[in-house]
């Protein structure tokens, strides 16, 4: 007990650390410049924002049935993409879990696939799928599936990594095989986490399915773009309002499910 | 000792037994010789363990913290690989077994853990049904919903044996400590084991519940004609719930005697010098 190490945080920062802070601040200031921050532009833009918003109201509900149908398709695309994504994530995540993977090679391969799916942004995937399977909702569904794999694959694997290994040891002592141990000890314990991540993935998918239309991957996005391009702001208002309603509904639904499961 | 010719020749043995000349010799179910095990950075934990356990016996294994009791139990089923050992367990030469044969052997041994190790978010019945993994195609007994009727009935029967049939539908994380260890015991029974092993089965239970669980463990061992090998730090339990007590010190068996010839003070000597650190 005699010689405790001196408390590090109380030290005056040394020169290298000081230099590092300084560089960080300099880089941030430079970045603000790169981001083109400009207060005058913002102030000048405010009336325009007001004008656009003003022209959107009152929203034009004449095409509401068409918009709702398109919204439904958008949601269906998000749902189907998420469900398939969750399905594939589950198997990839088993390979990507250190304690469950059958071999280190598969572990690294699965990790790589998951990180790759995650690090490429969804709009880039959408452009890729539009180019390969053509315009429309199928490209969007694939995009959402891949995006979900990047997201859920990681969180599923983390959840399985954290599961208590006592029950697993007990089952293997009783002569259970690897798949049985995963199904009856790992999955039940990780289930709340799986459900939670999947619901987040669905929320994320609904939001991104809205913009995928901008690159032709199906859904409501394209209608919004057309309306804006043709200065039909009242139509655009309707679309934005219905996007808001959809996202809100999905979020409410998913937190309701979450409350029930946890 | 009975002449071994007599025992190895079945006909002569039956004659001899009928004449009351020999007592039926108990079957040697577990025979460990020269078990050595070291951990990296810890050196030799077990240094030439010899242990025999006969059918129908209840043997308590005692020794100070860190002397290697858990390691010994695990090495006997190769849940941990020993450095060196000659183990014959229920007629299998454990060191020679391949993976699948090893799984079959493990299935015949019910193992009860200190932490109970139930799957907490599953029902009690599902947990008990898991005991049948070794004899059923895995996917059928992942949970109670998919298990065939005769398996569910057998699991209910095992729960009855430990007095918890009324909790079958509860989730395992709703149980008290004593209940949860009894469920673990029912799960071990579901294996239709020939041998029970337990590593400090009542260490997390209060004294009264601990006694109840030990009573149940020994009772079931007797009723089902099983063999029991368990680790305990409770010397009164060792004396009360075992036929024989085996003490380990410095990696070797230092004590091996019938429980009714021992006293608490004799057992305390084992704890003189700590093996820890
Ligand atoms: N995986 C491991 N790696 C390294 N050392 C280990 C490992 N497992 C056990 N040990 C060491 O081996 C020794 C024996 O451990 P073991 O768990 O068998 O003792 P024990 O007799 O069961 O003790 P306790 O009564 O506390 O349960 C201990 O000193 C422990 O630190
Ligand atoms: Mg131990």
User: Between A171, A179, A192, which is nearest B130 by CB?
Assistant: A171
- The single residue listed with the structure tokens 């430990």 is B162
Number of domains in chain B: 2
Those residues whose beta carbon sits under 5 angstroms from the ion ligand 2 are B 70
Tens of pLDDT, residue by residue over A209-220, are 988 988 888 888
The pLDDT confidence band at residue A64, using thresholds 50, 70 and 90, is confident
Closest-CA residue in chain A for B101?
Answer: A175
**Do B186 and B202 lie in a common domain?**
no
**Do B102 and B162 lie in a common domain?**
no
**Do B208 and B177 lie in a common domain?**
no
**Which residues, other chains included, contact A58 with Cβ-Cβ below 8 Å and sequence gap of 6+?**
A234, A237
**Do B96 and B39 lie in a common domain?**
yes
Last residue of a domain, one of B143, B171, B191: B191
Contact A61, A239 (CB under 8 A): no
**Do B272 and B254 lie in a common domain?**
yes
Helical H segments across B53-98, by residue range: 69-76
Ligand nearest to the backbone CA of B37: 1
- Residue B16 in domain: no
pTM score above 0.90: no
Instruction: Give the per-residue pLDDT at A3.
Output: 52
**Is residue A162 less than 8 Å (CB to CB) from chain B?**
no
Tens of pLDDT, residue by residue over A102-161, are 999 999 999 999 999 999 999 999 999 999 999 989 999 999 999 999 999 999 999 999
Last residue of a domain, one of B173, B191, B209: B191
The ligand 1 atom at the shortest distance from the C-alpha of residue B68 is 18
Q: Identify the burial level of B48 via C-beta atoms within 10 angstroms of its C-beta, where 0-12 means exposed, 13-18 middle and 19 or more buried.
A: middle
Mean pLDDT for A187-194 is 93
**Do B202 and B101 lie in a common domain?**
yes
User: Between B116, B118, B191, which is nearest A174 by CB?
Assistant: B191
CATH code, domain with B276: 3.40.50.300
Contacts of A174 in chain B (CB under 8 A): 106-107, 111, 130-131, 133-134, 187, 191
Q: Complex ipTM, two decimals?
A: 0.81
Ligand nearest to the backbone CA of B35: 1
Q: Which domain holds residue B68?
A: 25-108+194-277
Interstrand relation of B43-54 and B28-39 (parallel, antiparallel or unpaired): antiparallel
Largest CA distance in chain B: 58
Interface size between A and B, measured as CB pairs under 8 A? 75
Closest-CA residue in chain A for B117?
Answer: A167
Q: What is the CATH number of domain A65-261?
A: 1.10.3720.10
**Is residue B24 less than 8 Å (CB to CB) from chain A?**
no
Contact B276, B250 (CB under 8 A): no
Phi, psi angles (nearest 5°) of residue A58: -75, 145
The pLDDT confidence band at residue A1, using thresholds 50, 70 and 90, is very low
């Amino acid at each position: 007990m005699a010689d405790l190490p001196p408390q590090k945080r109380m030290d005056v920062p040394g020169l290298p650390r000081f230099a590092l802070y300084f560089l960080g601040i300099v880089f941030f200031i430079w970045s603000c410049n790169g981001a083109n921050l400009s207060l005058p532009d913002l102030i000048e833009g405010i009336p325009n924002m007001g004008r656009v918003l003003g022209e959107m109201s009152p929203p034009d509900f004449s095409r509401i049935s068409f918009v709702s149908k398109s919204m439904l398709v958008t949601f269906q695309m998000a749902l189907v993409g998420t469900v398939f994504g969750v399905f594939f994530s589950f198997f990839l995540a088993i390979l990507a879990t250190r304690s469950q993977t059958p071999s280190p090679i598969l572990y690294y391969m699965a990790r790589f696939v998951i990180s790759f799916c995650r690090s490429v942004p969804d709009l880039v995937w959408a452009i890729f799928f539009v180019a390969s399977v053509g315009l429309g909702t199928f490209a969007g569904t694939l995009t959402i599936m891949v995006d979900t794999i990047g997201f859920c694959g990681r969180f599923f694997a983390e959840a399985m990594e954290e599961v208590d290994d006592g029950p697993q040891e007990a089952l293997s002592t009783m002569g259970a095989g690897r798949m049985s141990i995963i199904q009856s000890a790992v999955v039940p314990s990780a289930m709340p986490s799986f459900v939670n991540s999947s619901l987040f993935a669905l929320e994320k998918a609904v939001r991104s399915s809205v913009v995928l239309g901008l690159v032709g991957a199906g859904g409501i996005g394209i209608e919004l773009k057309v309306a804006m391009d043709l200065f039909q702001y009242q139509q655009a208002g309707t679309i934005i309002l219905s996007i808001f309603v959809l996202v809100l509904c999905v979020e409410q639904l998913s937190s309701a499910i979450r409350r029930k499961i946890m | 000792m009975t002449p071994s010719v007599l025992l190895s020749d079945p006909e002569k043995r039956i004659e001899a037994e009928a004449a009351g000349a020999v007592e039926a010799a108990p079957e040697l179910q577990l025979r460990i010789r020269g078990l050595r095990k070291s951990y990296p950075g810890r050196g030799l934990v077990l240094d030439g363990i010899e242990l025999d356990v006969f059918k129908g016996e209840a043997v308590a294994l005692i020794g100070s913290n860190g002397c290697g009791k858990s390691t010994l139990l695990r090495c006997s089923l190769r849940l941990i690989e020993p450095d060196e050992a000659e183990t014959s367990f229920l007629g299998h030469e454990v060191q020679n077994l391949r993976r699948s044969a090893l799984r079959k052997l493990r299935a015949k041994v019910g193992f009860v853990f200190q932490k109970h190790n139930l799957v907490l978010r599953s029902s009690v019945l599902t947990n008990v049904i898991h005991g049948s993994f070794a004899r059923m195609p895995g996917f059928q007994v992942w949970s109670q919903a998919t298990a065939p009727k005769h398996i569910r009935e057998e699991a209910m029967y095992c729960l009855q044996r430990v007095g918890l049939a009324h909790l079958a539908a509860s989730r395992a994380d709703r149980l008290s400590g004593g209940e949860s260890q009894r469920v673990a015991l029912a799960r071990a029974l579901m294996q239709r084991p020939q041998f029970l092993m337990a590593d400090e089965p009542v260490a997390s239970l209060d004294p009264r519940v601990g006694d109840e669980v030990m009573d149940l463990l020994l009772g079931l061992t007797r009723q089902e004609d099983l063999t029991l090998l368990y680790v305990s730090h409770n010397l009164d339990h060792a004396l009360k719930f075992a036929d024989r007590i085996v003490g380990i010190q410095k990696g070797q068996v230092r004590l091996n005697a019938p429980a009714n010839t021992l006293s608490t003070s004799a057992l305390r000597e084992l704890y003189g010098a700590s093996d820890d650190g």
